Chain A
Amino acid sequence: MNSFFERRYFIQALFIVMAVGLLARLYYIQLIDPQYTVSANNNVLRRILQFPGRGPILDRNGKSLVQNEPVYDIMVTPREVKPFDTVELCKLLGIDREGFDKRWKKAVTYSRGIASPFEKQLPVKLYAALQEHLSEFPGFYANQRSVRTYPDSVAAQFLGYIDEVNDDDIKRSNGYYHRGDYIGRTGVEKSYEQLLRGQRGVHNALVDSRGVEKEQYMHGALDTLPVAGERLISSLDVRIQKLGEQLMKNKVGSIVAIEPSTGEILCFVSSPTYDPNLMVGREHGNNIADLIKNPYKPFVVRPIQAQYPPGSSFKPLSALIALQEGIITPQTTYFCAGGYQAGNHWVACTHHHGVTDLRLGIEGSCNVYFCSVFDKLMNTNGIANTRNNYIDWKARVNKFGFGAKLDVDLPHELKGYVPDTTRYDKVFKGRKWRSSTFISDAIGQGEILATPLQMANIDCIIANHGYYYEPHLIKRIGDKEIIKPEFTVKHSVDIDQQYFEPVIDGMQAVVDHGTGAGSKIPGIVMCGKTGTAQNPHGKNHSVFVAFAPRVNPKIAVAVVVENSGQGADWAAPIASFIVEKYLRDSISSRPSGKTPEWIMAQNLLPEIKGSKPVKADTAKHTAADSAKRVARLKKPADKKKAKNLGGQILAIQTRNDEDQ
C-alpha cells in the first residue's frame, strides 16, 4: 500500500503542474502579448464619421443660390444578401442587368462583409419607390446623404461644384478626407471649402460580430457632434445675375459688376455657362465630360481667366496718370488730324476731332490725343529717360490692379499682363528705347491684357476717386456675418482726387452724347467708356466699362462680348441694362432702340473652324477661335506668347478700332 500511497502525491503534483501550465499560458496572453487587445478593439470599435450639412450660399438679398437636398446611396453587404428578384431591383434602381453585374462585382471585390455603395445618389423620387420594397432585398440598405442643388440654376462658374475626392486630394489633406468624401472643385465651393464643409463628427460605436451597433464607446466621451458648414452670404444679386446670363446667351464673354463702395461683386457672368445642377446626381460624371468637350469651354471662368486688350476702355486710366504726373491739365489740347505718326507707323483716328482737350479726347476716344499724351509722358526729361519713364508708368498701372492678381476669392485667377522692361529690352536689343515703339499701350492695345474683373475694378477706382477694395464674392461668413478683414482694406492708387472729375466728365459725355450715347439710361447719369479690343484671330471684342450713378456711385460694370464688334453695339447696351436693373429693378427704353429681349435673341457665337456649324445653344458651344485664344491666354508668362507679341509690337496696329 505504501507505494500506492505515494501515487496520490504523483497525481496531485501532475494536476498542479497542468493547472500551472494553464496559468502560465493565461499570463502570457493576458499580460505579455498585446496583440489580443488590439484585435479586440479592431473587433468592436467602429469610428463612424458623421457628416455635417455643407454650408448653403445665399445671394446678397438672402435668396438661396445653393442648398442641400437629400439623396440616397444604396449600400450593399454582399455576405448578407440572400437570393432576390434581380429584375425587380434593376427596375427600381433604373439600371440594366449588365449594370447590375458590374456594380455587384465591384461591391464583392471591395469586401464581402463590409457595406459599400451599390448605387450612389438616388434621387428622392426613385428612392420613394424603392423604399417600400427594400425589405425584399436583404443585404441592401439606404444611406441618406445630401447633395447640392441650385434653385435658380445660375452663377455656375461663380459657385463652382463639388465632387468626390480622389487619391491626390486624400494625400494632400493629411488624412482629413476619406474615400467617398466630397470636396469643392471650382469656384466658391473650392475657395471656401474649409468653411463650407463644416466639421465632421465622430461617433465611436461598439459593434457586435455582425457589425450591428450595440452601444456607445465610453458613453460617448470621445464622440464629437458634426458642426454644419458655415452659411455664406455672397455679394451676388441674383436678379442681375439672371438678367446678365440671359443677355449673354449665345455669346461668349463676361459681365462683371462691382459695388464701388465695398468691392462686392454684384454680377459675375461667364458665358457660355451651364446649369450647375448638371454637376449633381448620377449623371454628373457624364455631364462634366460633355462640358469639357464643349469647344466653347464653359468651365473657363472668363471674368477672371479670360484676358483681353482693354482697348479704349483703358484711356481714362491713361489720362489719370498723365494728370497726376503733371504732363497735361484738363485744358491741354492736341490737334487731331485723323491720325498719329509714331515713327514709321500711323495710328489712325477716324473721327478727325480737330482741337481736342481731355474731355473731348475721352468722349471721342481720340487716339491722337492719347498717343500724344503718352509720347510726352515717356519722353519726360529727355528721350534718354524713356526707359525710366516706362518703369514709373508701369508701376502706376500696376497700382490700378493691372498685371497683378486682385486676389478675388476664387481659385485660378489670372493677373493680366503689363509688359516688363525686360520685354521691351528684348525688342530694342540694346538700342535706345523709343516711345513710338510701344505707343499702342496708350490706347489699351499692344501688349496690355486685362481680365474683365480688372476692367470693372478700374471703374470702381474712378467712381471712388482713387481707391478700391479687393473685389470679392462672399460678403458675410456664417451666422455671425463675419467680413474677411482683407476686404475692408482701402487700396489707394495714388492719384489725387482732383484729377478724377475731369476724367469723369469725359466719361459722362461718352454716354450722354459720345460713343455710348445709344445706351443712355433715361434719368440715370452713367459714366462709361466704350472699347473695342483688337483680336488678331477674328472679329474684335466688344468692351464697355461704366459706373453709375455719377454722384454716389452704386455699381461699376465691365462687359466683354467676344468676337462681336464694337463696344457700343453690344457691350454698352448690355451694361446699361444691368445697371438699370440693379438701380431701378426695371428696364426702360434706350435711344438706340435695343431691348434686352432683342439682345437675348442674338446669336454671336463665333464659328468653330474645322467643325460643323453648331446650333445656337449657350451651354454647348463657343467659337474655336475664342476658345483657343482663351486657352492660350490662360497660360501666364507663356514664353511663346511673349515672342508672338514681341513680333506684333513692331507691326503696330494702326487701324482705328474705335466706335463710329
Chain B
Amino acid sequence: MRTSNQRSFFFNVDWITVFIYLALCTIGWFNIHSAVYDDKYPSIIGLHTNYGKQLLFIIASISLATIILLLDSRFFSALTPFFYGMTVFLLLLVLVIGHNVMGNQAWISVGPLKLQPSEFAKYSTCLLLARYLSGVNIKVTEVKSFFAAAAIIFFPMALIKMQPDDGSTLVFCSLIFVLYREGLSSYFLIVGAMFIGLFILSLLFKTIFVVGGILIVFGIIIAIVRRNRKRALTALAGMILAIGFTFAVPFVYKHVIKEHQRVRIDEWLQLSTDLKKAGYNVHQSKIAIGSGKLWGKGYFKGTQTRFQFVPEQSTDFIFCTIGEEWGFAGSVVVIGLFVFLILRIILIAERQRAPFSRIYGYGVACIIFFHFFINIGLTIGIVPVIGIPLPFVSYGGSSLLSFTLLLFTLLKLDSNRMGIAGG
C-alpha cells in the first residue's frame, strides 16, 4: 500500500486502528440487525429500520473518515474555535427548538435526520482543550490555566446538563485524565476517587460507621507521615473534608439528586429491588447476557433481546445482544477490541511530537473509554444506569459520526506527525 501513489494520502494512517474501528462498526451493525430485525423490512439498508439506517450511517461515517484523512491536518487546529463556537450555538439552539424525547431535549431535526449536538460537543471540547493546553506558557499546574481549562470543559457540560442529558454530561468528567496526564496534581484524582467511594459507602452504611472508618484510615496515614509536617497537615485536611462530605451525602442524596437518578442508584446498590419497575431494565439485561453462557445462543437466536424483554436494545443496551447471542466469548472479543483500541490511541497520543495532537489523543481515549466502561457496566449492573451509547457499536447516526470524527481526526494528526513537526 505504501507504494501506491493513489493512496499516498493514507501512507501514514494507523491501519490497526482503522481495522479495529471497522470491526467494531461491523459487530455493531450485525447486533443491531439481530436485536431489532423486522420481517416487514428484510432489506439490510433503508430508512424503515434501525439496521437499515445504521448501514447508511456506517457508509456516511466511512466517507467522513475518508474526507478527514484527505484534509490538511492544520485545518483542525485552525478551526477549533469555530467548531467550539458552533457546538455551543447548537447546544443553545437545542434548548430552544430541540425535540424532547423521553425527557431529554437533545435532538435538532435536519430534514429526515435528527442531530444530537451533545455528541459533537465532545469533539469540539477535546479540540479546544488540546489547543488551549498546547499553547505556549500554559501549564495546568498554574491556577489560572487550570481554571481556563476547566471552563472549556464545564461550559458545554452545563449546557448539556440543562437538556438534561446526565449521561453525556458525565462523559466530560473523564477529561480529568487528560489534565492529569498534562500535569494536574494527583490530589484531584485522589479526592475525586475518595468522594465517589465515600458517596457509595455512605449510602450502604450508617454515617457513624463511615466516619469511624475515615478516622481509622486517616489516623493510620497521619501516624505514618507524622514526621513530615506538611503531609500530616494535608492528611488532616483530607480527613476533615472526608468527614464533612460524609455528613453531606444524605442531604445531597435526598435533596440535590433527582428522583429518577436516586431510583437508579438505589437499584444499582441493591438498596431497593423492584424488578418490575425501576430494576426491570437492568434485570432483563442481566438475564439476556447471563443466559448467553460461554458461546452464546447464536446469531438471531437471542430470545431475550429479540422478543423485547430488554429495552433500548439497539442503543444503550446493545451489549445485551452481544452477550446473549455471542456469549462470554463474544463479550471478551468486544471488550478486548475496545481495550486494544484505547491502548492503541494512548500509544498514538504518546508518539506525537505536537502537544496539541497528544492532548487531543488523550481526550479521545478518555471519552471512548468512559463510554465503553459505563455502557457495558450498566448492562451488567456494576454501574448505575447512565444512558450513553457504546462507541461505534450502538445504533445512532450522531453518535457514530461524532466518534468517527473524534477518532479519524486523531488518525489524521497522527499520519502527519512526521511531516509537520512542531506544527
Residues of A within 8 A of B (CB): 4, 7-8, 11-12, 15-16, 18-19, 21-23, 25-27, 29-31, 33, 35-37, 39-41, 43-44, 206-210, 214
Q: Please, could you name 26 A-B residue pairs with CB atoms under 8 Å apart, sorted by A?
A: A4-B181, A11-B365, A16-B343, A19-B338, A19-B373, A22-B373, A22-B376, A23-B335, A25-B377, A25-B380, A26-B331, A26-B332, A26-B335, A30-B290, A30-B331, A36-B288, A36-B289, A39-B287, A39-B291, A40-B290, A40-B303, A43-B307, A44-B303, A44-B309, A207-B307, A208-B307
Beyond A4-B181, A30-B290, is A22–B380 a contact (Cβ under 8 Å)? yes
Please state if B290 and A15 are interface contacts (CB–CB under 8 Å): no
B106-118 near A? 1/0 per residue, CB < 8 Å: 0000000000000
Please state if B304 and A43 are interface contacts (CB–CB under 8 Å): yes
Closest residue of B by beta carbon distance from A3: B183
Interface residues of B in 282-296 (CB under 8 A from A): 284, 286-294
- Taking a contact as CB atoms closer than 8 A, the residue among B180, B328, B338, B350 that contacts A30 in the complex is B328
Interface residues of B in 349-398 (CB under 8 A from A): 350, 362, 365, 369, 372-373, 376-377, 380-382
- Taking a contact as CB atoms closer than 8 A, the residue among A30, A39, A41 that contacts B293 in the complex is A30
- Taking a contact as CB atoms closer than 8 A, the residue among B309, B350, B365 that contacts A208 in the complex is B309
Top 10 A-B pairs, shortest CB-CB distance: A36-B290, A40-B291, A208-B307, A29-B290, A44-B303, A30-B328, A39-B287, A209-B308, A37-B291, A209-B309
Q: Which residues of A contact B346 (CB under 8 A)?
A: 8, 11-12
Please state if A36 and B303 are interface contacts (CB–CB under 8 Å): no
Q: How many Å lie between the Cα of A532 and that of B362 in the bound state?
A: 114
Please state if B380 and A11 are interface contacts (CB–CB under 8 Å): no
Beyond A37-B293, A39-B291, A209-B309, is A26–B369 a contact (Cβ under 8 Å)? no
Please state if B290 and A206 are interface contacts (CB–CB under 8 Å): no
- Taking a contact as CB atoms closer than 8 A, the residue among B180, B308, B323, B335 that contacts A19 in the complex is B335
Q: Which residues of B contact A206 (CB under 8 A)?
A: 303, 307
Tell me how far the C-beta of A371 lies from the nearest C-beta in chain B, rounded to whole angstroms. Answer: 85
Q: Which residues of A contact B306 (CB under 8 A)?
A: 208, 214
Interface residues of B in 178-212 (CB under 8 A from A): 180-183
Closest residue of A by beta carbon distance from B350: A8
Please state if B350 and A43 are interface contacts (CB–CB under 8 Å): no
Closest residue of B by beta carbon distance from A9: B346
Q: Which residues of B contact A31 (CB under 8 A)?
A: 293-294, 328
Interface of B, secondary structure class, is helix
Interface residue tally on B, bucketed by range: 35 or more
Beyond A22-B376, A30-B327, is A11–B289 a contact (Cβ under 8 Å)? no
Please state if B343 and A12 are interface contacts (CB–CB under 8 Å): yes
Q: How many Å lie between the Cα of A21 and that of B381 in the bound state?
A: 12
Closest residue of B by beta carbon distance from A213: B307
Q: How many Å lie between the Cα of A209 and that of B303 in the bound state?
A: 10
Please state if A35 and B307 are interface contacts (CB–CB under 8 Å): no
Q: How many Å lie between the Cα of A40 and that of B284 in the bound state?
A: 8
Tell me how far the C-beta of B397 lies from the nearest C-beta in chain A, rounded to whole angstroms. Answer: 27
In the complex, B253 has a CB within 8 A of chain A: no
Q: Which residues of B contact A21 (CB under 8 A)?
A: 382
In the complex, B93 has a CB within 8 A of chain A: no
Please state if A30 and B335 are interface contacts (CB–CB under 8 Å): no
Q: Which residues of A contact B304 (CB under 8 A)?
A: 40, 43-44
Q: Which residues of A contact B365 (CB under 8 A)?
A: 11, 15
Tell me how far the C-beta of A27 lies from the nearest C-beta in chain B, rounded to whole angstroms. Answer: 6
Q: Which residues of A contact B287 (CB under 8 A)?
A: 36, 39-40, 43
Question: With contacts A22-B373, A209-B307 known, what are 20 further pairs, Cβ within 8 A?
Answer: A12-B343, A15-B342, A15-B343, A18-B373, A19-B338, A22-B335, A26-B289, A26-B331, A29-B290, A30-B290, A30-B292, A30-B293, A30-B323, A30-B327, A36-B288, A43-B287, A43-B304, A44-B307, A44-B309, A206-B307
Interface residues of B in 304-360 (CB under 8 A from A): 304, 306-309, 323, 327-328, 331-332, 335, 338-339, 342-343, 346, 350
In the complex, B299 has a CB within 8 A of chain A: no
Tell me how far the C-beta of A34 lies from the nearest C-beta in chain B, rounded to whole angstroms. Answer: 8
Q: Which residues of B contact A11 (CB under 8 A)?
A: 177, 180-181, 346, 362, 365
Q: How many Å lie between the Cα of A162 and that of B342 in the bound state?
A: 71
Q: Which residues of B contact A40 (CB under 8 A)?
A: 287-288, 290-291, 303-304
Please state if B290 and A33 are interface contacts (CB–CB under 8 Å): yes
Q: Which residues of B contact A210 (CB under 8 A)?
A: 308
Q: Which residues of A contact B307 (CB under 8 A)?
A: 43-44, 206-209, 214
Tell me how far the C-beta of A112 lies from the nearest C-beta in chain B, rounded to whole angstroms. Answer: 11
Q: Which residues of A contact B284 (CB under 8 A)?
A: 43
Closest residue of B by beta carbon distance from A38: B291
Q: How many Å lie between the Cα of A21 and that of B373 in the bound state?
A: 10
Please state if A15 and B369 are interface contacts (CB–CB under 8 Å): yes
Q: How many Å lie between the Cα of A292 and that of B327 in the bound state?
A: 63
Q: Which residues of B contact A209 (CB under 8 A)?
A: 307-309
Q: How many Å lie between the Cα of A210 and that of B309 in the bound state?
A: 9
Q: How many Å lie between the Cα of A207 and that of B328 in the bound state?
A: 25
